[in-house]
């Protein structure tokens, strides 16, 4: 008998809630307007560096992505870029016809430098800023800018692409209007331009007349509608008040039964799992807490053994996801170790009895001053399944004798605790999109990376530093493979699945949407939302 069923009514149906029966005709809404309903972002801000790093549809970066393959292309503001032979100097050349909204003029290298300085300033809350920061940034002319570093940056284009740390704002607008201008009506460069934000309600954009790239989206108006409850998002889709919805897969069946359609990203958009926050294990780190239950590798193994991953994938993703042996390692990136898949069942496989034995060997709970394991429950754009994942973790942990409690917490608070080196709890996590290996290891396993990281120690820090300083591809692959193998053997996290991003749409309004799955919240290429009426 499956664990979830053995505890009473299946958790999946209990979490779905009441069936939504609203049926207002979609014809009540103008076909030149597309509404995307999604969860409320954790930090509503027009300032990219002051929010969660999720780019508004009105902004562009230097580096674009092919909408199908996801590979870097010059579809955004840079026409070309290159690194010198040492990878310590990166040159970006801008398109000469790129233009800001509302008459704020052409995009120049001065705008790039201004945006870089704002993004790397003291008020920035962007993750992974250390990977963006350069030793120096030099404007060569209006359309050329050079970033110089002390150590090699083999994939610095990533920091300027869809999941990167920099989007481009108008320097002229800032000089004329200050931050108030950005907060009121920020000028971007994309085919949609900003109209207004209603906090707690959403953000509206409109099609740019005569856009500098010659791009004309099918819909005149794009609205992001923010909603807290997943059932309410589904209701908006079923009623016709929204034509696109980001809903958990457990709710998609109701949408499909009502004639809606599911559209998927063209590539895997993320790897998901859970992490042991607070593992600050480098020598002499004052933030290290040896009393945490998961500071003991036996407890970490037990927590992994407690998870019925296939059942979790069935509940969270309706079975439409691939099991992952690492939420950072990807077959398309350097350091991929296929042998870890062969070892996974033996080391991580679902085995409650083994989990109980490991906890007993570790002396749990008596050996730990506070044996209770906090599990963060939080919503996050692009991951509507995270609250359910937290509940599943608690179910499985409780079943093997672990003491747990759910902690309701928004994502910025978790990030603030991580930056303060005080994040002593378990939380769902995503690698979205699937980052290049170097960025993944630095972001999540070194002190200078993202605040949502977990496991740190001298060995993984050393391997990450060595990888950054190495150019030779074969040596880089060997270093990264050693790092992934070490993390695997240390039970450094709880990997779950590799997942495509999915949205449900009303096919009478939206015919298609091509997006590669290469951004933080997985969706992008807003101008490619196709109207069913054209």
Q: What is the pLDDT of residues 289-298, one digit of tens each?
A: 999 999 999 9
Tell me how far the alpha carbon of residue 302 is from its chain's centroid. 27
Mean of the pLDDT values across residues 82-87? 97
Q: Does residue 20 surpass a pLDDT of 60?
A: no
Rounded percentage of the chain residues whose pLDDT exceeds 90: 78
Predicted confidence at residue 410, as pLDDT, reads: 85
Mean of the pLDDT values across residues 88-102? 98
Q: Does residue 2 surpass a pLDDT of 60?
A: no
Confidence band, pLDDT 50/70/90 cuts, at residue 520? confident
Is pTM beyond 0.85? Reply is yes
Predicted confidence at residue 434, as pLDDT, reads: 87
Q: Which residues are bridge partners to 276 per DSSP?
A: 426
The residue ranking higher by pLDDT, 466 or 50, is 466
Q: Which of 227, 225, 63 is nearest to 155 (CA)?
A: 63
Q: For the chain, how many residues are written?
A: 534
Q: Which residues are bridge partners to 505 per DSSP?
A: 244, 261
The SS3 assignment for 99 reads strand
3-state helix, strand, coil in the chain (%, to 5): 35, 20, 45
Q: Which of 229, 233, 254 is nearest to 243 (CA)?
A: 233
Q: Does residue 10 surpass a pLDDT of 50?
A: no
pLDDT tens profile 372-407 = 999 999 887 778 889 999 999 999 999 999 999 999
Predicted confidence at residue 5, as pLDDT, reads: 52
Confidence band, pLDDT 50/70/90 cuts, at residue 14? very low
Q: Does residue 22 surpass a pLDDT of 90?
A: no
Q: Does residue 18 surpass a pLDDT of 50?
A: no
pLDDT tens profile 269-325 = 999 999 999 999 999 999 999 999 999 999 999 999 999 999 999 999 999 999 999
Q: Mean pLDDT across the chain, nearest whole number?
A: 91
Confidence band, pLDDT 50/70/90 cuts, at residue 50? confident
Q: Does residue 25 surpass a pLDDT of 50?
A: no
Predicted confidence at residue 415, as pLDDT, reads: 81
Predicted confidence at residue 29, as pLDDT, reads: 46
Q: Does residue 465 surpass a pLDDT of 50?
A: yes
Mean of the pLDDT values across residues 441-462? 85
pLDDT tens profile 160-186 = 998 888 999 999 999 999 999 999 999
Predicted confidence at residue 250, as pLDDT, reads: 86
Q: Does residue 245 surpass a pLDDT of 90?
A: yes
Host H or E run for residue 442: helix 437-445
Listed range (127-141, 302-316, 356-370) with the worst mean pLDDT: 127-141
Q: Does residue 26 surpass a pLDDT of 50?
A: no
Token couple for 34: 């597309």
Q: Which of 315, 329, 154, 163 is nearest to 249 (CA)?
A: 315
Tell me how far the alpha carbon of residue 333 is from its chain's centroid. 18
Mean of the pLDDT values across residues 440-444? 88
Predicted confidence at residue 9, as pLDDT, reads: 42
């Amino acid at each position: 008998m499956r664990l979830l069923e053995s505890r009473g009514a299946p958790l999946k149906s209990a979490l779905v809630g009441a069936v939504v029966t609203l049926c207002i005709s979609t014809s009540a809404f103008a076909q030149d307007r597309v509404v995307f309903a999604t969860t409320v972002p954790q930090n509503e801000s027009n300032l990219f560096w002051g929010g969660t790093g999720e780019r508004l549809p009105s902004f562009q970066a230097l580096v674009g992505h092919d909408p199908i393959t996801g590979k870097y292309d010059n579809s955004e503001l840079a026409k070309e870029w290159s690194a010198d032979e040492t990878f310590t100097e990166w040159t970006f050349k801008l398109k000469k016809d790129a233009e800001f909204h509302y008459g704020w003029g052409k995009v120049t290298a001065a705008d790039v430098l201004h945006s870089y300085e704002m993004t790397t300033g003291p008020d920035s809350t962007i993750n992974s800023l250390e990977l963006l920061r350069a030793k120096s940034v030099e404007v060569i002319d209006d359309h050329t800018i050079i970033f110089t570093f002390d150590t090699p940056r083999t994939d610095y284009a990533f920091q300027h692409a869809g999941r990167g740390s920099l989007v481009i704002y108008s320097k002229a607008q800032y000089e004329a209007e200050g931050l108030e201008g950005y907060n009121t009506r920020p000028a971007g460069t994309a085919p949609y331009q900003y109209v207004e934000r209603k906090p707690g309600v959403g953000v509206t954009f409109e099609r740019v007349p005569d856009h500098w790239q010659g791009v004309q989206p099918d819909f005149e108006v794009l609205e992001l509608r923010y909603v807290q409850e997943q059932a309410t998002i589904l209701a908006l889709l079923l009623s016709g008040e929204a034509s696109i919805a980001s809903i958990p897969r457990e709710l998609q069946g109701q949408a499909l039964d009502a004639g809606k359609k599911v559209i998927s990203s063209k590539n895997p958009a993320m790897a998901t799992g859970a992490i042991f926050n607070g593992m600050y294990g480098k020598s002499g780190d004052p933030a290290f807490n040896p009393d945490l239950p998961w500071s003991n590798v036996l407890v970490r193994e037990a927590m992994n053994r407690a998870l019925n991953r296939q059942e979790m994938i069935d509940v969270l993703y309706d079975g439409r996801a691939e099991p992952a042996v690492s939420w950072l390692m990807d077959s398309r990136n350097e350091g991929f170790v296929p042998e870890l898949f062969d070892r996974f069942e033996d080391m991580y496989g679902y085995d409650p009895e083994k989990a109980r034995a490991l906890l007993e060997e570790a002396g749990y709970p008596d050996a730990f001053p506070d044996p209770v394991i906090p599990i963060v429950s939080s919503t996050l754009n692009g991951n509507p399944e995270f609250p359910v994942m937290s509940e599943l973790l608690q179910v499985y942990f409780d079943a093997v004798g672990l003491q747990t409690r759910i902690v309701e917490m928004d994502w910025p608070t978790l990030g603030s605790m991580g930056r303060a080196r005080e994040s002593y709890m378990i939380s769902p996590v995503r690698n979205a999109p699937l980052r290049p290996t170097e960025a993944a290891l630095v972001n999540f396993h070194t002190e200078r990376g993202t605040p949502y990281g977990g496991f740190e120690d001298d060995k993984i820090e050393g391997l990450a530093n060595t990888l950054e300083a190495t150019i030779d591809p074969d040596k880089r692959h060997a270093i990264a493979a050693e790092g992934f193998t070490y993390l695997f053997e240390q039970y450094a996290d709880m990997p779950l699945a590799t997942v495509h991003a999915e949205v449900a749409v009303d096919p009478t309004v939206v015919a298609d949407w091509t997006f590669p799955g290469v951004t933080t919240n997985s969706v992008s290429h807003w101008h490619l939302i196709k109207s069913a009426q054209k």
